[in-house]
Amino acid sequence: MVAKSLVVKFGGSCLSNPQNIGLAAKKIEAEVKNGKKIVVVVSALTGVTDSLLKTATEASLGRISKEELDEVLSMGERTATRLMVSALKSLGLKTVGLDPADEKFWPIYTDSKHGNAEVNLGKTLRAVRRKVKPLLDKGLVVVVPGFVGLSPEGKVTTLGRGGSDITAVVLGRCLEVDEVVFVKDVGGVLSADPKKVPTPSKIDILDAEEMFSLSSAGAKVLHPRTLKYATNHLTLRVVGFNEDLMAGTIIKGELGVGLRFLLHPKPVSMLTIVGKEVSTPEALLKIFSEALPVKTKILGLTLASPSLLLYVEDSSKLIKNIHNLIKTQKVAKAIHSVEPLALIVVSGHELEKTPGIVDGITAPLAKEGINLYGLLTISNSVRVFVHWDDKDKAYSLIRESLNKPSFGG
């Protein structure tokens, strides 16, 4: 499908010099000539934000308020906006740049948390449709500084890390554009960090959950916070600066909101494989390549010498296979299983930033004398294993505990 409307966001590294700003403007010119309505979101030029932060901190002897610092730091993106407007106008494009100083046209509104503000989606949606959409309908290219918002008090705020990407997705969501295109210094999302592996591959398509997991694990392409504003109807695309705007990696879908609770429907076995040998690469390779039946569903795994714990469905054949390896190839000394267990999954994006989640799970279970057979955590989920007979009571206790206001319930 050929997109009819786009939000195009340029990272600061793509606007590092006059030549690159000119090339970025020519990319927009080509899309306008193809009949597309364009909103351009810009980051501060490379190094500008760090320079402003250092200068402001040193000049104030470290006494600058967060409110004052937001005003200073916003100047990086606001200056980049003016430079982009000038470049676009030099190509003969009808262009307007927005600035929070002119509230008549400014569309992005936030709370009052200076330095790491959250977007007020309701107010922003109304403002975008009332202020920005008419400009696009008149054939103007609209340039917006990313990273910047206005508080309820009318003060300039900044959105924190990934702020310009957030601005782009919020605008795309509110305008219901066909795509939000992020122009980066890398050609899409890669299969690994190019600084750590040779010739990583470009990924063609990711869903929002997969992109969130990659970003949470440290991939620098999109900040995880950006994805919380994505919707099922909005396509995100990551392209390299030297690529066509329709190249790169496509990201589709949206993240679930709030905490989610799942009681796994089938009984689970906990296999404990004991022996110092089990932590060697050779033993692990044999266990996973030779012992696991093809359709084995692994629901959890943890390794701490001298034991490997596997949580699986339908373990009977697996136990026999591993025991055979123990006898014939000495991959461990013994295997023991506990069943039936139940798996309860608590998930939610940025779960690791919510203090007290683990205590909110374990404390009510301990109070009721429910034993834990395992608790595994990853950035956005906690997996809890209890006895099958305790599953319904444990599930209810966990839901009740974590649905309190202190956990966002």
Residue 187, pLDDT score: 82
Is 308 strand, coil or helix?
A: strand
Residue 84, pLDDT score: 98
Q: Once rounded to an integer, what is the mean pLDDT over residues 195-217?
A: 88
Percent of the chain past pLDDT 90, that is, above it, reads: 70
Residue 405, pLDDT score: 62
Residue 260, pLDDT score: 86
* Identity of the amino acid at 232: N
Residue 122, pLDDT score: 97
**With contact defined as beta carbons under 8 Å apart, do 54 and 62 qualify?**
no
Question: Is residue 368 pLDDT above 80, yes or no?
Answer: yes
Which of 167, 113, 112 shows the shortest CA–CA distance to 143? 167
Q: Once rounded to an integer, what is the mean pLDDT over residues 141-154?
A: 98
Q: Which residues contact 18 (CB under 8 A, 6 or more apart)?
A: none
pLDDT band for position 161 (cuts 50, 70, 90) = confident
User: Count of alpha carbons within 13 Å of 322, Cβ hemisphere only?
Assistant: 27
Q: Once rounded to an integer, what is the mean pLDDT over residues 127-132?
A: 97
For the segment 288-305, what is each residue's pLDDT rounded down to a tens digit?
Answer: 888 887 778 889 999 887
pLDDT band for position 1 (cuts 50, 70, 90) = very low
Distance CA 54, CA 49 (A): 9
**With contact defined as beta carbons under 8 Å apart, do 309 and 272 qualify?**
yes
pLDDT band for position 350 (cuts 50, 70, 90) = low
Question: Is residue 144 pLDDT above 60, yes or no?
Answer: yes
**With contact defined as beta carbons under 8 Å apart, do 246 and 291 qualify?**
no
Which residue shows structure tokens 């596997």?
310
Q: Do domains 5-252 and 260-407 have the same CATH topology?
A: no
Q: Once rounded to an integer, what is the mean pLDDT over residues 98-118?
A: 96
Q: Once rounded to an integer, what is the mean pLDDT over residues 273-285?
A: 89
Question: Is residue 249 pLDDT above 80, yes or no?
Answer: yes
Question: Is residue 2 pLDDT above 50, yes or no?
Answer: no
* Identity of the amino acid at 319: I
Question: Is residue 218 pLDDT above 80, yes or no?
Answer: no
Which residue shows structure tokens 């966001």?
9
Pairwise pLDDT comparison (297 vs 267), residue with the higher score: 267
Distance CA 48, CA 46 (A): 6
**With contact defined as beta carbons under 8 Å apart, do 175 and 128 qualify?**
yes
Residue 257, pLDDT score: 66
What's the mean per-residue pLDDT of the chain?
91
Distance CA 172, CA 234 (A): 7
Length of the chain: 409
Which of 27, 15, 17 shows the shortest CA–CA distance to 246? 27
Q: Topology of domain 260-407, per CATH?
A: VC0802-like (3.30.2130)
Question: Is residue 256 pLDDT above 80, yes or no?
Answer: no
Q: Which residues contact 152 (CB under 8 A, 6 or more apart)?
A: 109, 111, 112, 120
Distance CA 260, CA 348 (A): 6
Dihedral sign (CA 65, 125, 102, 98): positive
Is 377 strand, coil or helix?
A: strand
Question: Is residue 409 pLDDT above 60, yes or no?
Answer: no
Window from 63-77, 92-106, 321-335, 344-358 with minimum mean pLDDT = 344-358
Dihedral sign (CA 81, 86, 87, 91): positive
Q: What is the DSSP string of 87-119?
A: HHHHTT--EEE--TT-TTT---BB-S-TTSPPB
The pTM score is 0.79
For the segment 314-329, what is each residue's pLDDT rounded down to a tens digit?
Answer: 888 889 999 999 999 9
Question: Is residue 94 pLDDT above 90, yes or no?
Answer: yes
Window from 9-13, 80-84, 277-281, 352-356 with minimum mean pLDDT = 352-356
Q: Which residues contact 58 (CB under 8 A, 6 or more apart)?
A: none
Question: Is residue 164 pLDDT above 80, yes or no?
Answer: yes
Which of 264, 37, 75 shows the shortest CA–CA distance to 156? 75
**With contact defined as beta carbons under 8 Å apart, do 361 and 346 qualify?**
yes
pLDDT band for position 69 (cuts 50, 70, 90) = very high
| CATH number belonging to the domain at 5-252, selected among 3.40.30.10, 3.30.413.10, 3.40.1160.10, 2.102.10.10 | 3.40.1160.10
Residue 380, pLDDT score: 78
Question: Is residue 195 pLDDT above 50, yes or no?
Answer: yes
Could you state, in order of their start, the residue ranges of all structural domains in the chain? 5-252, 260-407
Q: What is the DSSP letter of 131?
A: I
Is 163 strand, coil or helix?
A: helix
CA 207 to chain CA centroid, nearest Å:
11
The secondary element (H helix, E strand) that includes residue 345 is strand 334-347
Question: Is residue 102 pLDDT above 50, yes or no?
Answer: yes
According to the 3-state scheme, what is the secondary structure of 217-240? CCCCCCCHHHHCCCCCCCEEEEEE
